[in-house]
Amino acid sequence: MLKEKMVESLNTQMNAELYSAYLYLSMEAYFEANDLSGFANWMRVQAQEEMTHAMKFYDYLVQRGARVILTEIKSPPTEWDSPKATFEHVYEHEQMVTGLIDKLVDLAISLSDHATNNFLQWYVAEQVEEEESSSGVLQKVKLAGDSTSGLLMLDQELAQRVFTPPLTTK
């Protein structure tokens, strides 16, 4: 049985993951409007990953007999100054999410909730990948600088990203 503080915190994180999906969909729309369909594809895949993350929290709460509470999702930004500014936002956002996951792990440890701590370890590893991925694209965007050719080459590369769901979502 999950303690109420853990239920509240897991629900909060689930809703934060839903916001992340919403944010990346907004970024996808921004890139589509700017004729960068490869960048848009990268964001769509990212949004799909975030929905998977949210559903893992949802399923875990249900599995543990806790109530899932969906809350209002705030509106994300809709404009960025450039692809570089967009990926700076992505990287900062992923660092923030890492901090939220770390706080959940700390809470699970403080409550001696070993099952939830074990569940959260998937997210700990996932956030390492999320930060690496967003940082890698940011570095490439910085390398492209003001080069239209470089940006278009990167757009072609990002168009190749494919969503691969985890083996299990529960």
| Domain extents in the chain | 4-158
Residue 104 banded pLDDT, cuts 50, 70, 90: very high
Q: Is the pLDDT of residue 78 over 60?
A: yes
pLDDT digits (tens, 9 = 90+) for 113-148: 999 999 999 999 999 999 999 999 999 999 999 999
- Tokens 């916001």 sit at which residue? 19
Q: Give the C-alpha separation, 39 to 53, whole Å.
A: 21
Mean pLDDT of the chain: 97
Q: Is the pLDDT of residue 44 over 90?
A: yes
Q: Is the pLDDT of residue 168 over 90?
A: no
Q: Which CATH number fits domain 4-158: 3.10.20.30, 1.20.1260.10, 3.40.50.10860, 3.30.43.10?
A: 1.20.1260.10
Model confidence, pTM? 0.95
Q: Give the C-alpha separation, 51 to 59, whole Å.
A: 12
Question: Cα separations (Å) of 43 from 57, 59, 67, 73, 138?
Answer: 21, 24, 30, 18, 13
Which pLDDT does position 166 carry in this prediction?
84
Average pLDDT over residues 69-75: 97
